[in-house]
Amino acid sequence: MPLSAYELAREAKIRANKAVISSLGLDQFSAPPKPRGKRTRPKNKTGSKTDTSPKKQRGAARWKTGSKAKPVEGRRTGSTNEDDWAHYASQTEAARKCGINVGSVSQCVSGKQSEAGGFHFRYYQYILQENNQTR
């Protein structure tokens, strides 16, 4: 396939530029292409190092803003006393306080696993006073 007029003119300019660089003795200084480094995140637009964006709330303060978390309760394996159930605001809180993986707590409350880290877990069940209905 023959080259277009533009491509022929471009190649002629490249050859001419290489000849000029060589005549000046600069061809020995040509550097190899720079290796691509790891890309970094751009800094914020203001250039300041302090981040003023709102932070994600942690702990009890988060539950006050209307969370979708369901409360759970747990007790040590082998305990048969109904009063031994400890109440937690969420599966995450139960996992943190018991020192186990939150995924294990999730599997316990969903019935896929019977215990996690020596604890039994279930969704917290409370009784409404007005209708005596379990929720």
What's 105's domain CATH number? 1.10.10.10
Calpha distance 91→108 (Å, rounded): 10
Residue 18 lies in a domain: no
Tell which wins on pLDDT, 118 or 40: 118
Residue 97 lies in a domain: yes
- Model confidence at 44: pLDDT above 70: no
Residue 15 lies in a domain: no
Q: Work out the average pLDDT over 120-127.
A: 80
Against a cut of 0.85, is the pTM above it?
no
Contact at 8 Å (CB) between 109 and 69?
A: no
Residue 45 lies in a domain: no
Q: Work out the average pLDDT over 22-48.
A: 70
Residue 55 lies in a domain: no
Of 123, 104, 124, residue with least CA distance to 114: 104
| Helical residues (DSSP H) of the chain, grouped into ranges | 5-23, 60-63, 91-98, 102-109
Residue 84 lies in a domain: yes
Residue 98 lies in a domain: yes
Our count of domains for the chain comes to 1
- At a CB cut-off of 8 Å and minimum separation 6, what does 32 contact? none
Residue 64 lies in a domain: no
Q: Which structural domain range is residue 81 located in?
A: 69-123
Residue 3's pLDDT is what?
Answer: 87
Of 74, 135, 64, residue with least CA distance to 106: 74
- Give 53-77 pLDDT, tens digit per residue: 445 445 554 445 567 888 899 999 8
